[in-house]
Amino acid sequence: MTGREFFTARTVADALAGFRPTLRTPVEDVPLYEALHRVPAAPVPAPAALPGFARSTVDGFAVRAADTYGASDSLPSYVDLLGAVRMGAAPTVAVRPGGCVAMPTGGVLPAGADAVVMVEYTAETMPGTIEITRPVAPGGGLVRADEDVAAGAALVPAGLPLRAPDLGLLAAAGVTLVPVHARPRVAIVSTGDEVVPPTTRSLVPGQVRDATAPALAGMVADAGGQPILAGIVDDEPGALKDRLTEVLPGADLVVVSAGSSVGARDETAGAVAAVGEIWCHGLAIKPGKPTLLADCGGIPLVGLPGNPLSALVVFGQVGVPLVWRLAGCESPPPPPSTRARLARDLASAAGRLDVVQVRVRDGVAEPLFGPSALLSVLARADGYLLVPEPATGLDAGTEVEVVLYR
Amino acid sequence: MTGREFFTARTVADALAGFRPTLRTPVEDVPLYEALHRVPAAPVPAPAALPGFARSTVDGFAVRAADTYGASDSLPSYVDLLGAVRMGAAPTVAVRPGGCVAMPTGGVLPAGADAVVMVEYTAETMPGTIEITRPVAPGGGLVRADEDVAAGAALVPAGLPLRAPDLGLLAAAGVTLVPVHARPRVAIVSTGDEVVPPTTRSLVPGQVRDATAPALAGMVADAGGQPILAGIVDDEPGALKDRLTEVLPGADLVVVSAGSSVGARDETAGAVAAVGEIWCHGLAIKPGKPTLLADCGGIPLVGLPGNPLSALVVFGQVGVPLVWRLAGCESPPPPPSTRARLARDLASAAGRLDVVQVRVRDGVAEPLFGPSALLSVLARADGYLLVPEPATGLDAGTEVEVVLYR
């Protein structure tokens, strides 16, 4: 059992700053109702001003503001009721000095009016005469025709995933096809003689079902990517290189969940070196040191450690930002998180990023330990905390930010 | 313009505690790869123990721990190399006293062995003889056959949405069909003579495109529901009641985005009262006071205020928890959030929940004001903060939790 590894180790911060593929997925038009969390490729301009007409924001009466000046309970103003505006229709009557038009919230301001007085400050004291007991300033009780968005202004910026409210604004502007980056296609290759598909009903001793690929597929989907399950490759020489050669043309990112033995890891590095250029082999992260990053003719490749916990930790730190970046998003939305007090001391090595699984109860974060071969550690965790690269540990009682799995 | 509203106003806290439909969506089996964020209807038990065999966690040699006691650099132990375990296969050789078997990480522990010594503390000094320079305790270097999960133990609990790591654990156990609650079908009905579909290319003055329905659809999808766009209903008498009667049989939750005028709101309340029982009309929330909650023969209905900003705020506070609850989840995953210092004083009324849109820059939360008729306020916001019901305001400089749109 020779073949010790010679790591070209890098810090996670180095990797995030330095391993930055320039590849971006192509732009495609998607229907508004499928655009949630997709990333616009350019700012989307408003085809016309919104709301497009001066619009009442209250139920009341459109007036000339000057006709209400000085109005009070003891000295009301009186104006003639000239008609009413109907919802969804253009006004059929204008406001002249000394006159008013009844307005529903959302109605079009009639010509001649410059304000809407709220119904609460009015009374129809005689048929056809409206008494006003409070003044309104010009522009009061309404929004201007371009107050929501001016024609040509950006409805949403480029590079940030669309949120539910953004869909509302796009709909209001009549933008029902949105140019966004295609979902990055993330090919997930599992390796290892011992790895069998999750559908395998009964195992022979030594076999394990592929847990990493389904979990990675979930993380890819959460990051807006399209997981492509590219199967399980045996440890036989050449098999991984052949599979990589097959999947690269249809992928924007390739993820290899490597075998767990030293031999299998060496095999992975060899196969990757045959199809691309290794950027680093070894990351200063715990768990997850035997991570490999490579550039395969412009397509990034992440070689993950063999055990599922380490693989998922590393993918979360370096893979997820890559998926977002491929879709044109440099600042991914933050994951949910919570503050908690650390239940016990945590030791770490300076220069290494530690990712510690924790359970959070009543504001206390309890680290979960155990062999990283155990998947149940991840499933029992509410999330994780980071012991940053410069730190040599965290003291019990420290307030920490726990990133929650969702 | 008569018809002032008589609100049966409730606090949001009352509504969350008291308006709790018992309806749950039916249980369906979904493939593992589609189960992300779905809610298991019952704990999912492990069909068998995991990993299912005592498994090495290191590269090294399976031994009887007793054979290594006292081993050191100056006084090593020597054991006979009896063979090797191959990945993914049952061992073909047992360990006897004074013997060892070469092990890859993840390999099956051979009979007779009770520990694995790491390759780092060994050397093959002569062909067939392994020198050990560090003792290992029984159980060292391995995980037990049921250490990850015992047979029959819950892999995941009921009622909490499945996260990516959970998919990994389910896959490892061979659970590839997961019994989960069906996605709640949320019928979204828009009302208002002025409201036209987002696909309407050019508007006549007074018309507005339906912005609320697409944004609500996004919020429903984020909450694990299935939005059903049930169209736009004119303000003519009876039309809304007819549409509600049509959509109720196919929905688990009905959302009506009401007309914005007082008259339209009265019309909504009348139509809802004809098909169900109104639980409250009026919520102590700003914006969003004219909210209506009703029970339509077991199917909950939420009547939202007419303007999009208020509608989305209210749906976030009372609608989203309902969607989760219908799917069997009482504790929805928290949204992303961040801490920030409030840029200015905020006034509020005691007993009312204020939802304030904010922009966050450099740790400072700047409230965004403007008529709630403006959609762009929402689109410009990074998120919102809550001024809780008992508070009469928040002072500038207060540290606040901002819930981020995602």
| pLDDT tens, residue order, chain B (406 aa) | 333 444 568 999 999 999 999 999 999 999 999 999 999 999 999 999 999 999 999 999 999 999 999 999 999 999 999 999 998 899 999 999 999 999 998 999 999 999 999 999 999 999 999 999 999 999 999 999 999 999 999 999 999 999 999 999 999 999 999 999 999 999 999 998 899 999 999 999 999 999 999 999 999 999 999 999 999 998 888 999 999 999 999 999 999 997 656 667 778 899 999 999 999 999 999 999 889 999 999 999 999 998 899 999 999 999 999 999 999 999 999 999 999 999 999 999 999 999 999 999 999 999 998 877 788 898 899 999 999 999 999 999 999 999 999 8
Cβ of B337 and A333 within 8 Å?
no
Cβ of A106 and B261 within 8 Å?
yes
Tens digit of each residue's pLDDT (9 = 90 or more) over A379-388: 899 999 999 9
The secondary structure of B150-174 as a DSSP string is -TTSEEE-TTSPPPHHHHHHHHHTT
Q: Is the pLDDT of residue A7 over 80?
A: no
Q: Are residues B341 and B374 in the same domain?
A: yes
Give the residue from B4, B255, B260, B307 with the most A CB atoms within 10 Å of its CB, the best one to mutate: B260
A219 vs chain B: nearest CA distance in angstroms?
Answer: 6
Tens digit of each residue's pLDDT (9 = 90 or more) over A178-215: 999 999 999 999 998 899 999 999 999 999 999 999 99
Q: Quick one: tokens of B339? A: 């801490």
Instruction: Single out the residue in B326, B359, B375 at which a domain terminates.
Output: B326
On whether residue B236 sits in a domain, the answer given is: yes
pLDDT bin (cut points 50, 70, 90) of residue A375 is: confident
On whether residue B4 sits in a domain, the answer given is: no
pLDDT for A260:
59
Tens digit of each residue's pLDDT (9 = 90 or more) over A272-314: 999 999 999 999 999 998 899 999 999 999 999 988 999 999 9
Q: Are residues B290 and B361 in the same domain?
A: no
On whether residue A5 sits in a domain, the answer given is: no
On whether residue A113 sits in a domain, the answer given is: yes
Residue B264: closest C-alpha in chain A: A104
Give the residue from B1, B44, B147, B339 with the most A CB atoms within 10 Å of its CB, the best one to mutate: B1
Cβ of A218 and B147 within 8 Å?
no
What pTM did the predictor assign? Answer: 0.94
Cβ of B163 and A405 within 8 Å?
yes
- The helices-and-strands tally (H runs, E runs) of chain B is 8, 28
Instruction: Give the Cα-Cα-Cα angle B392, B394, B397 (nearest 5 degrees).
Output: 165
Residues A323, A330: Cα–Cα separation, whole Å: 10
Q: Are residues A113 and A208 in the same domain?
A: no
**Hey, which residues 210-249 in chain B have their CB within 8 Å of chain A?**
210-219, 221-222, 229, 235
Q: Is the pLDDT of residue A80 over 80?
A: yes
Instruction: Single out the residue in A122, A143, A164 at which a domain terminates.
Output: A143
Angle between helices A239-247 and A262-275 (to 10 degrees): 40
State whether residue B321 is helix, strand or coil.
helix
| Cβ–Cβ < 8 Å for B294, B300 | yes
Q: Are residues B254 and B171 in the same domain?
A: no
| Cβ–Cβ < 8 Å for A23, A298 | yes
Residues A323, B87: Cα–Cα separation, whole Å: 32
- Long-range contacts of residues B122-127, Cβ cutoff 8 Å, at least 24 apart: B122/B60, B122/B61, B124/B81, B125/B78
Q: Are residues B110 and B228 in the same domain?
A: no
Interface contact A2, partner B, CB < 8 A: no
On whether residue B148 sits in a domain, the answer given is: no
Cβ of A164 and B53 within 8 Å?
no
- Give the pairing type, strands B177-181 and B27-31: antiparallel
Interface contact B57, partner A, CB < 8 A: yes
Q: Is the pLDDT of residue A161 over 60?
A: yes
Q: Considering only CB atoms, which chain B residues are within 8 Å of A212? A: 168
On whether residue A275 sits in a domain, the answer given is: yes
pLDDT for A3:
37
> DSSP state, B37?
T
Angle between helices B212-222 and A164-172 (to 10 degrees): 160
Question: CA neighbours within 13 Å on the CB side: how many for A212?
Answer: 35
| Cβ–Cβ < 8 Å for B284, B388 | no
Q: Are residues B66 and B121 in the same domain?
A: yes
State whether residue A234 is helix, strand or coil.
coil
Averaged pLDDT, A232-249: 94
**Hey, which residues 334-363 in chain B have their CB within 8 Å of chain A?**
334-339
pLDDT for B152:
97
Residues B318, B248: Cα–Cα separation, whole Å: 19
Instruction: Single out the residue in B293, B326, B359 at which a domain terminates.
Output: B326
A107 vs chain B: nearest CA distance in angstroms?
Answer: 6
pLDDT for B28:
98
pLDDT for A379:
86
| Cβ–Cβ < 8 Å for A330, A24 | no
Q: What is the CATH number of the domain that holds A64?
A: 2.170.190.11
| Cβ–Cβ < 8 Å for A82, A173 | no
Q: What is the CATH number of the domain that holds A163?
A: 3.90.105.10
Interface contact A20, partner B, CB < 8 A: no
Instruction: Give the Cα-Cα-Cα angle A306, A252, A388 (nearest 5 degrees).
Output: 50
Q: Are residues A200 and A174 in the same domain?
A: no
Residue in A88, A229, A262 closest to B206 by CB: A88
On whether residue A4 sits in a domain, the answer given is: no
Q: Considering only CB atoms, which chain A residues are within 8 Å of B404? A: 333-334
Interface contact A206, partner B, CB < 8 A: yes
Q: Are residues B87 and B203 in the same domain?
A: no
Q: Are residues A166 and A190 in the same domain?
A: no
Question: What residue numbers bound the domain in which A151 lies?
Answer: 27-50+147-181
Q: Considering only CB atoms, which chain B residues are within 8 Å of A149? A: 376
> DSSP state, B34?
G
Q: Is the pLDDT of residue A144 over 90?
A: yes
A204 vs chain B: nearest CA distance in angstroms?
Answer: 7
Q: Is the pLDDT of residue A1 over 60?
A: no
Stretch (H or E) spanning B303: strand B299-304
Q: What is the CATH number of the domain that holds A384?
A: 2.40.340.10
Q: Are residues A277 and A366 in the same domain?
A: no
Q: Are residues B303 and B231 in the same domain?
A: yes
Residues above pLDDT 70, as percent of chain A: 97
| Cβ–Cβ < 8 Å for B3, B266 | yes
State whether residue B60 is helix, strand or coil.
strand
pLDDT for B7:
53
Q: Quick one: tokens of B341? A: 């210092």
Q: Which residues pair with A353 in a beta bridge?
A: A285
Q: Are residues B31 and B167 in the same domain?
A: yes
On whether residue B100 sits in a domain, the answer given is: yes
HEC secondary structure over A356-405: EEEEEECCEEEECCCCCCCHHHHHHCCEEEEECCCCCEECCCCEEEEEEC
Q: Quick one: tokens of B34? A: 């589609």
**Number of domains comprising chain B:** 4
Please give the residue that has the higher pLDDT: either A378 or B196.
Answer: B196
A262 vs chain B: nearest CA distance in angstroms?
Answer: 7
